[in-house]
Amino acid sequence: MHYEGTIIRPPSEADSIILQVTVGCSHNKCIFCGAYKDVLFTIKNDEIINKDIDFAAHHCLRQNKVFLADGDALIIPQKRLVDILSSIRAKLSWVRRIRLYGNAKSILRKSAEELEELKQYGLDRIYMGLESGSDEVLTFLRKGSDATSMIEAGQHVRKAGIFLSVTVLLGIAGKEKSEEHAIQTGKVLSAMKPNQIAALTLMLLPNTELYHLEKEGGFALMSSNELLRELRFIVKNISCRAQFQANHASNYLPINARLPKDKDLILSAIDDALAGSTPLTPEYLRAL
């Protein structure tokens, strides 16, 4: 396989064939993300992509999923993306599920018919980073989208019948905007109606603007208990049906449950952790 830079993939894609079709992220302006700061976004050459698919056809016979890296493979023009999916179907006949990252802008650039076409060629899941449902926080983070466009993008994916996994970031608003961030995030998630919600906790990276802002006193990190209270506000304000997971390595309290069925159990687990009766993940075990 021909890989360039650091390959980022969702935890659930650990056993997938990782096919890098783009390098970097098409947006790459978020002040908290340090994943692609050293690379210029490009769509990889078709010849290299096809060579990697041929490699997978001979060496990845036990893996039945493909994840298209890097940060926003959905930005690839429709014809080229369909050609890539068609090649995967033709050469990796045992693969039934193809997944990728997509931001709100790239999702909304695809028509309903185009998303449905991608689904027909095997695309079954889109991972989307919401981070926050607060317009003020999204502007601060330079996400490039507001809450309205996030909702529209999420609904666009769901209407096409594609599984939607949405991530949110605990602590990303800092102490001052924590409650607003949490409440609005819960409301936006409810409107998006994703199949899966994944909550991660902010961990600052030295190559990001937010890291330097915190060092200069312009951003306040939150304590573990403050983060748990923020998580509680988010969960309390979610009214849609979804798989809810906060079991990423960055989190203090692992959660894997169904909403709304398990909402009371989640809130009770958070309350137990806040009361000190449930131990939190120690700092040395937390990671991105």
What does the pLDDT read at residue 41? Answer: 93
Dihedral of alpha carbons 257, 259, 264, 269, sign: positive
Tell me how far apart the alpha carbons of residues 150 and 14 are, in angstroms, rounded to a whole number: 27
Domains of the chain: 11-285 (3.20.20.70)
Give the DSSP letter of residue 277: S
What does the pLDDT read at residue 44? Answer: 96
Is pLDDT above 90 for 39?
no
Q: Using the structure block, give the residue that is written with the tokens 């899966």.
A: 196
Helix ranges (DSSP H) in 160-203 = 178-192
Tell me the two tokens of residue 115: 């998303």
> Tens digits of per-residue pLDDT, 260-279?
999 999 999 999 999 999 99
Query: Are 269 and 253 in contact, with CB atoms under 8 Å apart?
Result: yes
8: exposed, middle or buried (Cβ count in 10 Å: 0-12, 13-18, 19+)? middle
Q: Which residues lie below 8 Å from residue 223, measured CB to CB, with a gap of 6+?
A: none
Q: Which residues lie below 8 Å from residue 192, measured CB to CB, with a gap of 6+?
A: 130, 150, 151, 154, 155, 158, 164, 166, 240
Q: Using the structure block, give the residue that is written with the tokens 């997944």.
A: 99
User: Average of pLDDT values for 40-48?
Assistant: 95
β-strand pairing of 17-20 with 22-23: unpaired
Res. 105 pLDDT band, cuts 50 70 90: very high
First to last CA, the chain: 24
What does the pLDDT read at residue 160? Answer: 98
Rounded to 5°, the CA angle 54-59-61 comes to: 100
